[in-house]
Amino acid sequence: MTEASVREFKMPDVGEGLTEAEILKWYVQPGDTVTDGQVVCEVETAKAAVELPIPYDGVVRELRFPEGTTVDVGTAIIAVDVAGGAAPAAAPADVPEAPAQAAEEEAEPQGRQPVLVGYGVAQTSTKRRPRKGADVPRQEPAAQALQSELNGHGRAAAAEVAATRPLAKPPVRKLAKDLGVDLATVTPTGPDGIITREDVHAAVAAPAAEPVPQAAPVAPAAVPAAAPAAPVAYDTARETRIPVKGVRKATAAAMVGSAFTAPHVTEFVTVDVTRTMKLVEELKTDKEFAGLRVNPLLLISKALLVAIKRNPEVNASWDEANQEIVQKHYVNLGIAAATPRGLIVPNIKDAHARTLPQLAEALGELVATAREGRTTPAAMQGGTVTITNVGVFGVDTGTPILNPGESAILAVGAIKLQPWVHKGKVKPRQVTTLALSFDHRLVDGELGSKVLADVAAILEQPKRLITWA
């Protein structure tokens, strides 16, 4: 076997612009034979779990990272001998680690509980492992300039340079920009003083800090070498620490970014949906819906689509870079779904062009796929408006946060029998409360009110689905 016959398979960008993914499970081991198209591992990105096929035939020579490791896109994760030679049977966990990192991993608190159905918490550190063959962390040009200052002018001058330009990788700088975080105010925890994603999120979550008095100047010779921070002890019998990563981590970042970027306005309306509930029962027996799931969400979705058709300006997005409002002539209808991996929002592409049976079929497929954990990143891209059905949990209503990049989100509360004035008399009627949150940069109060009023009017008199469509 020659080195020329060894091919390295790199972590691909399985979404749109994703920068990293966590290896959830290896399906092969060193020495196994693989064929072109065979799935070799499952990874979790910030959007979904995805199976990765190998693009060539051969024998597995090495797995570069163990399960539970977060790996940058473009990093080799598996080596395959395409000549078919035998491979050493060493598992990636046997690769020795740097003493400092090993010490940190030994200090990791134990007793964490699984957070994903079908997967346990990896028994490895959540810190990234150093790239193979690299004893020194990769530095950006700014970090190299800092090292030059250390060598040529001493630590004091280097500290001054570091204060003028915080060190961070481009994806981290973009994240900070999206979340409105000034990197100069972030405390770095990465090697060589580099700011990490976690540092940016910590800066967003932390309350406003009290002014800290300036420390007295320290002579260059007195500056101690950087040392790993001591782990914080906590009571494992009374607390459980769950790593925030994958879909949950991405959702948290997206919600923070949305809440502090788009000015939210939420309006509410309580409506009698008795006629809509009767129509749902009638459609269940209609042969056009044979084999399809018919429920109130179907008619609520159709009502929102009709309201958007009557008020097309609501279906838009904000282009910050070009300072433009982008009006969409299509509706990709997002449906918020609670899954074992966390909350995700897949969307039905071109929902506006679907008939009611086609919409029912698409909703059924979307929900089933989400529950099985098979939602693809593409299915969660490009949404324009979203519906979140909090009523399934018995909740009356809420103030939903916009899905990033979208103009509006409709929350549907529980449908309950309530006393209601109907034709001049108080009668028990099926009643629900709707809440519409919208981006006030795109949607003013009049437009938002019209959309919400139209949805309510259709649900009160579902024959409007015909007269208004």
153 is catalytic: no
Whether residue 119 contacts residue 125, with contact meaning beta carbons closer than 8 Å, is answered with no
**Cβ proximity of 387 and 403 under 8 Å:** no
- Asked if 415 and 273 touch (Cβ cutoff 8 Å), the reply is yes
Q: Compute the half-sphere exposure of residue 223: CA atoms within 13 Å on the CB side of its CA.
A: 13
What is the residue type of 232? Answer: V
The three-state (H, E, C) secondary structure of the chain, written as one string = CCHHHEEEEECCCCCCCCCEEEEEEECCCCCCEECCCCEEEEEECCCCEEEEECCCCEEEEEECCCCCCEEECCCEEEEEECCCCCCCCCCHHHCCCCHHHHHHHHCCCCCCCCCECCECCCCCCCCCCCCCCCCCCCCCHHHHHHHHHHHHHHHHHHHHHHHHCCEECHHHHHHHHHHCCCHHHCCCCCHHHEECHHHHHHHHHCCCCCCCCCCCCCCHHHCCCCCCCCCCCCCCCCCCCCCCCHHHHHHHHHHHHHHCCCCEEEEEEEEECHHHHHHHHHHHCCHHHCCCCCCHHHHHHHHHHHHHHHCHHHCEEEECCCCEEEECCCCCEEECEEECCEEECCEECCHHHCCHHHHHHHHHHHHHHHHCCCCCHHHHCCCCEEEEEHHHHCCCCCCCCCCCCCCEEEEECCCEEEEEEECCEEEEEEEEEEEEEEECCCCCHHHHHHHHHHHHHHHHCCCHHHHCC
Q: Tell me the C-alpha distance between 21 and 128, whole Å.
A: 11
Q: Which of 264, 329, 352, 440 is catalytic?
A: 440
**Smallest Cα–Cα separation from 340: which of 15, 67, 119, 42?**
119
Q: Which residues contact 318 (CB under 8 A, 6 or more apart)?
A: 262, 325, 326, 439, 441, 442
Known catalytic residues are 440
